[in-house]
Chain A
Amino acid sequence: DTGVSQDPRHKITKRGQNVTFRCDPISEHNRLYWYRQTLGQGPEFLTYFQNEAQLEKSRLLSDRFSAERPKGSFSTLEIQRTEQGDSAMYLCASSLGLAINEQFFGPGTRLTVL
């Protein structure tokens, strides 16, 4: 399978714990995006990378969220001191090129904060 993969697919954690998610994009894709989606809403932009550079981060993203893409390949999204409001599906997508092109989404990581 050469699509976007995400790990884990499901994560249940207690409030206050830290969690880290991983995304492996399609291998030749230089852009990588993170989104958050809750029921009945569209994906909400969190951040995106072009190669290893994080070019934009949503103003909605608190300091508890951090993302990295150290070698321009896989990416991690960390949420520190999780809150119940962080419960959502976290989607990763990748695309090829410098212009806006088709984004290929992974299956997502569903986070539940108890």
Chain B
Amino acid sequence: RKEVEQDPGPFNVPEGATVAFNCTYSNSASQSFFWYRQDCRKEPKLLMSVYSSGNEDGRFTAQLNRASQYISLLIRDSKLSDSATYLCVVNIGTNAGKSTFGDGTTLTVKP
């Protein structure tokens, strides 16, 4: 079993739709969580950190469920420009350097 698992998709949604991705992690000692975005043939870029209380950045909402060991990303009012692969990232400990990436969920937003 992989340490970080994501539904690979693809998710194909129309513009304006709301879409949610989940990510599960296996190590209960995990402390830091992030969502990165990776466009085709580009490097990953941080989308948002995930805080215990949940956090929102515009159309994006991230939530953490420690008991069930999963994090989620909700995208509201999808735009064409949201089409990308979304990578879930988990770190064990707040200072540990090893980041474990999921294999990503691919989103395609269609007009």
Q: Which residues of A contact B (CB under 8 A)?
A: 31, 33, 35, 40-45, 48, 50, 55-56, 58, 91, 98-100, 102-103, 105-108
Q: List 22 A-B contacts (CB under 8 A).
A: A35-B101, A42-B4, A42-B87, A42-B102, A43-B44, A43-B87, A45-B101, A48-B98, A58-B98, A91-B44, A98-B95, A100-B91, A100-B95, A100-B97, A102-B49, A103-B44, A103-B46, A105-B43, A105-B44, A106-B43, A107-B43, A108-B43
The verdict on B72 contacting chain A, using a C-beta distance below 8 Å, is no
Q: Which residues of B contact A91 (CB under 8 A)?
A: 43-44
Q: Which residues of A contact B4 (CB under 8 A)?
A: 42
The verdict on B45 contacting chain A, using a C-beta distance below 8 Å, is yes
* Complex contact A56–B97 (CB within 8 A): yes
The binding surface of chain A is classed by DSSP as: loop
Quick one: which of B43, B96, B100, B104 has the most chain A CB within 10 A?
Answer: B43
Known A-B contacts A103-B46, A108-B43; A42 and B104 likewise in contact (beta carbons under 8 Å): yes
Of chain B, the residue at the smallest CB distance from A97 is B95
* Complex contact B98–A42 (CB within 8 A): no
The verdict on B99 contacting chain A, using a C-beta distance below 8 Å, is yes
Bound Cα distance A41, B104 (Å): 7
Q: Which residues of A contact B87 (CB under 8 A)?
A: 42-43
Q: Which residues of B contact A107 (CB under 8 A)?
A: 42-43
Minimum Cβ distance to chain B for residue A45 (Å): 5
The verdict on B103 contacting chain A, using a C-beta distance below 8 Å, is yes
The verdict on B32 contacting chain A, using a C-beta distance below 8 Å, is yes
Bound Cα distance A13, B73 (Å): 40
Q: Which residues of A contact B45 (CB under 8 A)?
A: 105
Of chain A, the residue at the smallest CB distance from B45 is A105
Minimum Cβ distance to chain B for residue A9 (Å): 12
Sample of 16 further A-B pairs with CB below 8 A, known A41-B103, A45-B98: A33-B97, A35-B101, A42-B87, A42-B103, A43-B101, A44-B101, A45-B99, A55-B97, A56-B98, A98-B95, A99-B94, A100-B91, A100-B94, A102-B49, A103-B46, A103-B99
